[in-house]
């Protein structure tokens, strides 16, 4: 009788392997559980608790006096709550050496702090700089010019020189002042500096044209300013003629 042939080795068993569908089903169930747990992490659920936590909280307390069971009302012993009392200003006067928002603690009462800081700033500026009151203005006329200046000094073109000739007689009279304002082309430090230099040069040219002595050149004020109005058209130069009071 012939022997039964031994079946060939089939290799390791793959019975433990899950199919693709089973794997996706397991992952889906896992994420559903995680999502439900994430939704439960709210303040209300954490406070009330679920399951055994509720049962434990319902039976929380010290041993009862009669049945030996626990009571729902815990009994406080010797520990007491802390007392928070506001300081009494009548019995406890403020410390004279206490620190405050002021640099120097002079103990003075401040009603309006912004006004007090402004007054201190003005007093400090008066101490550091030579500040004097200017005479009152009795009349003022403003002339705006929109023609371009010369790119290099002298900046006054022939058209400007003709207009300036009407201002020169005022410079020779007492009580009059002429202010030259050159407006910066862009709101930048470079343009502002250039406008200031142009105004200074034009003021010097006006003094030379009017033949004003050096001691009376203060009648001509020069300044360079940025143009901050976004609606009105920016002039190139402005001449302000003022009549000062004699007092």
In CATH, what number is assigned to the domain containing residue 222?
3.30.1330.60
Is 182 within the bounds of a domain?
Answer: yes
Q: Is the pTM of this model over 0.85?
A: no
How many structural domains does the chain have?
1
Q: Which residues pair with 139 in a beta bridge?
A: 243
**What is the DSSP annotation of 108-156?**
---S-HHHHHHHHHHHHHHHHS---PPPPEEEEEEEEE-SPPPSSSS--
Is 119 within the bounds of a domain?
Answer: no
Is 2 within the bounds of a domain?
Answer: no
How far, rounded to the nearest angstrom, does the alpha carbon of residue 90 sit from its chain's CA centroid? Answer: 40
Residue with tokens 């434990």: 56
The fraction of the chain above a pLDDT of 90, given in percent, is 11
Is 163 within the bounds of a domain?
Answer: yes
pLDDT in tens, 102-152: 666 666 666 677 888 888 888 888 888 876 777 788 888 888 989 888 888
Question: What's residue 7's pLDDT?
Answer: 75
pLDDT in tens, 40-96: 555 555 555 455 555 555 555 555 455 555 555 555 556 566 666 666 666 666 665
Per-residue pLDDT band for 211 (boundaries 50, 70, 90) equals confident
Is 103 within the bounds of a domain?
Answer: no
Q: Give the Å distances, CA to CA, from 239 to 199, 206, 223.
A: 10, 11, 11
Is 153 within the bounds of a domain?
Answer: yes
Is 104 within the bounds of a domain?
Answer: no
Is 238 within the bounds of a domain?
Answer: yes
Range of the domain at 234: 138-244
């Amino acid at each position: 009788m012939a022997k039964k042939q031994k079946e060939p080795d089939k290799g390791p068993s793959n019975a433990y392997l899950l199919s693709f569908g089973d794997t996706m089903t397991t992952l889906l169930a896992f994420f559903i559980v995680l999502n439900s747990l994430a939704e439960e992490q709210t303040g209300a659920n954490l406070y009330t608790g679920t399951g055994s936590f509720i049962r434990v909280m319902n039976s929380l307390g010290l041993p009862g006096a009669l049945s030996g069971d626990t009571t729902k009302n815990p009994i406080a012993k010797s520990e007491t709550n802390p007392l928070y009392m506001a300081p009494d200003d009548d019995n406890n006067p403020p410390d004279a050496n206490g620190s405050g928002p002021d640099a120097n603690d002079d103990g003075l009462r401040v009603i309006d702090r912004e006004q007090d800081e402004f007054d201190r700033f003005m007093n400090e500026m008066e101490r550091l700089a030579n500040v004097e009151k200017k005479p009152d203005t009795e009349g003022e006329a403003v002339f705006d010019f929109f023609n371009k200046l010369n790119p290099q000094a002298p900046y006054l073109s022939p058209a400007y020189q003709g207009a300036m000739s009407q201002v020169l007689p005022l410079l020779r009279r007492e009580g009059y002042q002429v202010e030259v304002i050159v407006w910066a082309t862009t709101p930048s430090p470079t343009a502002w500096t250039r406008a200031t230099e142009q105004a200074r040069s034009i003021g010097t040219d006006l003094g030379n044209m009017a033949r004003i002595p050096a001691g009376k050149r203060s009648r001509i004020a020069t300044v360079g300013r940025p143009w901050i109005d976004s609606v009105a058209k920016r002039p190139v130069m402005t001449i302000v003629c003022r009549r000062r009071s004699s007092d």
